[in-house]
Chains A and B, each alone.
Chain A
Amino acid sequence: MQTLFEKSVAGKRGVTVAPPEVETYSFDESLLRTELDLPELAEVDTVRHYTALSKRAFGVDDGFYPLGSCTMKYNPKLNEEIAALPGFAQAHPLTRADKVQGSLAVIDTLNAYLAGITGMDAVTLQPCAGAHGEYTGLLVIDRYHKSRGDFKRTKVLVPDSAHGTNPASAAMAGFEVVSVKSDGDKGVDIEELKKAVGEDTAALMLTNPTTLGLFEKNILEIADIVHAAGGLMYYDGANLNAVMGVVRPGDMGFDVVHLNLHKTFSTPHGGGGPGSGPVGVKRALKPFLPTPAVVSTEKGLRYEKGKQSIGKVSAFYGNFGVYVKALAYIVTLGGKGLRASAETAVLNANYLRARINEFYPVGEQRYCMHEFVLSMKKLKDETGVTALDVAKALIDRGIHPPTMYFPLIVEEALMFEPTETESKENLDRAADALREIIQEAYTAPEKLHTSPHNAPVRRPDEVAAARNPVLRA
């Protein structure tokens, strides 16, 4: 398909702008650029271009999207309309607090809901994504230790099964990362953990349910070990969807959590963002949250600039237009609806897993949470068909592939997260598609090696893209 630049025709005009009502101001020529090489298109050309692009994209609204760890649930339309209400969309962030009580109430109310859901005492909405939340939470932890005169805590423990953002965020926050081996399906290796913790431990970062989609059974013991060493417990909320309304990270022993509103709380991911990554903390860490906080006063809601705060992690108050949608979602579902969603997410994952088990062994019979990891190693050993081949073959069947090759501790991993909003019919259809692909692996593997065959393009040459990068037209 042609690019905007190839479609450009010199002299075409898009949206017209009325000339100034006042005298047109001319800058000194020494300041001015000589050319502005942007595409020249009529409005209808722009419309056709982006409509064509949209037909070469695939969202949750198009079909099943079991991308593990990403919680691709349905994004309610109601929430879009609410975020676009002029009262919210046209509010300037620097307006005096008394004139934007609605926005501040959104922040205050959502903070309270999220604190309740996670079992934390205070929340900030400033982080713009999950990784940004991790970074913020770790800075808060660092500041907390230092405020107590404890300057030795320079290390963050991260299980080897963790998302890549965990170690990357810890490094960005100035910590040294210590990787802790996990014990396969059993989760964190307690003995390894005991060896790793010490006076220099700032925190342990953990995802629970784990990245294998299993609940960390020893969570209370793990928290005790870390706390006994003076470290804090950090909860990566990527997988909260399995347990919201069922158990709370705060009760599991976590001191800091981040959430991904674009996963768990239904805000659309927009093809890569914007997300929103609120951070919740226990009372002792509250003074260190980013500034400003929104507080309730006699005159109404106001900003407060905490003296011990880590400062700002982004402009203004984070992705307001995203988290207002999450608030609408929570208001609609209520605690009961959230719990029903979590339970259904777990039901759907276990059902799909049971269906797959009919024709491909899924491993031990322990129940999974909201997602499960399938190793395609057996298939690869027997047929040469890889996890990648299977993923690409799903594209030909109108299903978005699961997450591939993650977690790193499972060979040929495919991670399925169906979410609660999928119907039984869709799960059955996905299981049938997978059965068909696996049968094909034994009869005609060649076709799978070159799939997809029905997508807008076939497999792109990633090696060429990285060797000789073409990054702009």
Chain B
Amino acid sequence: MSDYLSITPAEREAMLGKIGVGDVSELYADIPATLLKKKVKLSEGRSQQETFRAMKALAARNKNYDSVFLGAGSYNHYIPSVVKSLASREEFLTAYTPYQAEMSQGILQSVFEYQTMICRLTGMDVANASHYSGATAAAEACIMCADKTPKVVTFDNVNPDTLDTLGTYLSARKIELIVLPAKGGLATELPESVGKAGAVYLESPNYYGLIENVSAVAESGKAHGAAVILGCNPLSLALFKTPRELGADVAVGDGQPFGMPLSFGGPYLGYIAVTKDRMRKLPGRIVGETTDADGRRAYVLTLQAREQHIRRERATSNICSNQAHCALTAAIYLAAMGPQGLKDVATVCASNAHYLASKLESVGAKRFYNGEFFHEFVTVTPFKAADILRALDARGILGGLALDEHRILWCCTEMNTKEDMDAVVETVEATYANFV
């Protein structure tokens, strides 16, 4: 048994003596005897080596793939060693929320720099210190914008987990959620019948990887009085116009592509960035710059009157712990890559995806939607998606996501080699041959 304690039996006796009891059980005197009598089943512990062996055996029950073409909200990117090395520094990893500014300048500055980088990527004025995931960031952004007009409009081409999360969050707040059908995979202008709305939420690239005509949707949203919330894979912002330029009032998304491993879906990084007028409604921690008693630059948690520990039931959100370490990881990733490195990664992703899409088209897996895309796209085949994915699996390749019986959502990143992509094409071709 390992227990990570640091008290010897002799010290324990001395401590009990100081307290004035003979046994630890006396310290639990306030607990009703009927409760203490209930037997809690207690298993034996293990040595660290035994735990490692057992957990390693569990990990081995997951199949690891040589090449991954699955995205849909979780993206397989190269994580430079410098990111892992710096993020794992214990002063960052084992600290709590930086309540004591004087002792936490390193963490506070890292958050301030993260906020700045998110603002610069999105073109916004203010970003929070992080939210749980892209899905919850979108949900809380909608709540923030729909406080006066409790209606949110979105489309059925946004990430389904995000849509599901929106449904949960908005119904609890009694905010109506209208899900409009996409046309040809793309969001549409809002129909007259929608009426006045608090917010419109769309994604670009959307769930199918397509790049939306954000400006048009935004304009129509504004005509309905809605704030425009744009969800973006932040890696795409290395290349594309900023949400601000496209007319968004709020930018949200998941920063997982910036240095976080797939890790079976989390922890990832929800980001929310807004224009200055929404600064005091933004949920979550925010770090600000100020000066200390000697006039030196210092950072603090600020605008705290928004938050649950002060405003309690009237707070803009209940969030307390966020994903700070993921924000740190993203900031280190961005610093390590620099603007050129980031653009290069995005370009390789897009180039690979366009190559794969055209090759697949040539072997009978046509693109299901027209329109420009970033690094994900949907194909449709007369034969079963499951057959392709099974054949790929046998070759150690994790294929795309089967959207239904015949459609697959593919994703390419800089991790996919030409050889891998050609193997996918070859497999699809072979499956087609069997089908015919």
Complex: A in contact with B (CB within 8 Å): yes
Q: Are B55 and A32 in contact, with the CB atoms below 8 A?
A: no
What per-residue 1/0 map shows which CB atoms of B43-56 lie under 8 Å from chain A? 11111100110111
What per-residue 1/0 map shows which CB atoms of A287-321 lie under 8 Å from chain B? 00011000000000000000000111111111111
A455 to B309 Cα, complex, angstroms: 26
Contact for B18 among A103, A167, A351, A462, CB less than 8 A: A351
CB within 8 Å for A80 and B291 given contacts A17-B345, A59-B93, A87-B60: no
Q: Are A471 and B318 in contact, with the CB atoms below 8 A?
A: no
Residues in B neighbouring A260, C-beta threshold 8 A: 321
Chain A residue, CB-CB nearest to B290? A465
Does B433 lie at the interface of the complex (its beta carbon under 8 Å from any beta carbon of A)?
no
Taking CB atoms and an 8 Å cut-off, the chain B residues in 322-354 that contact chain A are: 322-326, 328, 331-332, 334-345, 347-348, 350-354
Contact for B42 among A40, A52, A243, A334, CB less than 8 A: A334
Does A395 lie at the interface of the complex (its beta carbon under 8 Å from any beta carbon of B)?
yes
Q: Are A67 and B351 in contact, with the CB atoms below 8 A?
A: no
A300 to B120 Cα, complex, angstroms: 47
A312 to B434 Cα, complex, angstroms: 39
CB within 8 Å for A310 and B168 given contacts A47-B82, A471-B286: yes
CB within 8 Å for A21 and B418 given contacts A165-B320, A271-B96: yes
Chain B residue, CB-CB nearest to A424? B11
A335 to B39 Cα, complex, angstroms: 12
Does A128 lie at the interface of the complex (its beta carbon under 8 Å from any beta carbon of B)?
yes
What per-residue 1/0 map shows which CB atoms of A388-413 lie under 8 Å from chain B? 00011001000011011010000000
Q: Are B240 and A458 in contact, with the CB atoms below 8 A?
A: no
Q: Which of B15, B300, B321, B339 has the most CB of A within 10 A?
A: B321
Q: Please give me the 8 A-B residue pairs with the lowest Cβ-Cβ distance, nearest first.
A: A316-B265, A270-B325, A87-B59, A272-B324, A335-B42, A334-B45, A59-B94, A93-B265
Q: Are B97 and A271 in contact, with the CB atoms below 8 A?
A: yes
Does B255 lie at the interface of the complex (its beta carbon under 8 Å from any beta carbon of A)?
no
Q: Are A58 and B310 in contact, with the CB atoms below 8 A?
A: no
Q: Measured between C-beta atoms, what is the minimum distance from B393 to chain A in Å?
A: 7
Residues in B neighbouring A87, C-beta threshold 8 A: 56, 58-62, 64
* A and B contact pairs by CB, cutoff 8 A, 16 listed: A1-B105, A3-B112, A15-B341, A18-B414, A82-B52, A87-B56, A101-B61, A131-B321, A165-B320, A270-B95, A321-B264, A322-B267, A347-B15, A391-B100, A459-B101, A461-B292
A16 to B168 Cα, complex, angstroms: 42
Q: Are A274 and B63 in contact, with the CB atoms below 8 A?
A: no
Residues in A neighbouring B126, C-beta threshold 8 A: 469, 471-472
Residues in B neighbouring A395, C-beta threshold 8 A: 100, 102-103
Q: Are A334 and B315 in contact, with the CB atoms below 8 A?
A: no
Q: Measured between C-beta atoms, what is the minimum distance from A106 to chain B in Å?
A: 6
| Residues of A within 8 A of B (CB-CB), count | 196
Does B370 lie at the interface of the complex (its beta carbon under 8 Å from any beta carbon of A)?
no
Contact for A421 among B6, B35, B300, B305, CB less than 8 A: B6
Chain B residue, CB-CB nearest to A310? B168
Does A177 lie at the interface of the complex (its beta carbon under 8 Å from any beta carbon of B)?
yes
Does B436 lie at the interface of the complex (its beta carbon under 8 Å from any beta carbon of A)?
no
| Residues of B within 8 A of A (CB-CB), count | 201
What per-residue 1/0 map shows which CB atoms of A100-137 lie under 8 Å from chain B? 11110110010000001000000000001111101100
Q: Are A311 and B164 in contact, with the CB atoms below 8 A?
A: yes
A106 to B59 Cα, complex, angstroms: 9
Q: Which of A103, A273, A452 has the most CB of B within 10 A?
A: A273
Does B3 lie at the interface of the complex (its beta carbon under 8 Å from any beta carbon of A)?
yes
A172 to B310 Cα, complex, angstroms: 15
Does B313 lie at the interface of the complex (its beta carbon under 8 Å from any beta carbon of A)?
yes
Residues in B neighbouring A50, C-beta threshold 8 A: 86, 89, 110, 332, 335
Residues in B neighbouring A4, C-beta threshold 8 A: 113, 331, 335
A428 to B40 Cα, complex, angstroms: 33
Q: Measured between C-beta atoms, what is the minimum distance from A31 to chain B in Å?
A: 6
Q: Measured between C-beta atoms, what is the minimum distance from B301 to chain A in Å?
A: 9
Q: Are A32 and B241 in contact, with the CB atoms below 8 A?
A: yes
Chain A residue, CB-CB nearest to B23? A343
Q: Are B267 and A321 in contact, with the CB atoms below 8 A?
A: yes
Q: Measured between C-beta atoms, what is the minimum distance from B292 to chain A in Å?
A: 4
A75 to B95 Cα, complex, angstroms: 10
Q: Are B64 and A90 in contact, with the CB atoms below 8 A?
A: yes
Chain B residue, CB-CB nearest to A172? B318
A320 to B331 Cα, complex, angstroms: 22
Residues in B neighbouring A23, C-beta threshold 8 A: 351, 355
Does A226 lie at the interface of the complex (its beta carbon under 8 Å from any beta carbon of B)?
no
Q: Are B266 and A319 in contact, with the CB atoms below 8 A?
A: yes
Q: Measured between C-beta atoms, what is the minimum distance from B104 to chain A in Å?
A: 6
Q: Which of B70-78, B179-187, B221-229 lies at the interface?
A: B70-78
Does B230 lie at the interface of the complex (its beta carbon under 8 Å from any beta carbon of A)?
no
Does B192 lie at the interface of the complex (its beta carbon under 8 Å from any beta carbon of A)?
no
Residues in B neighbouring A13, C-beta threshold 8 A: 338, 340-341
CB within 8 Å for A128 and B265 given contacts A5-B116, A272-B107, A461-B290: no
Residues in A neighbouring B348, C-beta threshold 8 A: 17-20
Does B268 lie at the interface of the complex (its beta carbon under 8 Å from any beta carbon of A)?
yes
A109 to B186 Cα, complex, angstroms: 42
Residues in A neighbouring B320, C-beta threshold 8 A: 129-131, 163-165
Taking CB atoms and an 8 Å cut-off, the chain A residues in 178-234 that contact chain B are: 214-215, 217, 219-220
Q: Are A88 and B263 in contact, with the CB atoms below 8 A?
A: yes
Q: Which of B72, B130, B294, B313 has the most CB of A within 10 A?
A: B313
Contact for B341 among A14, A96, A401, CB less than 8 A: A14
Chain B residue, CB-CB nearest to A221? B32
What per-residue 1/0 map shows which CB atoms of A437-473 lie under 8 Å from chain B? 0000000000000101001111111101110011111
Residues in A neighbouring B164, C-beta threshold 8 A: 291, 311-312
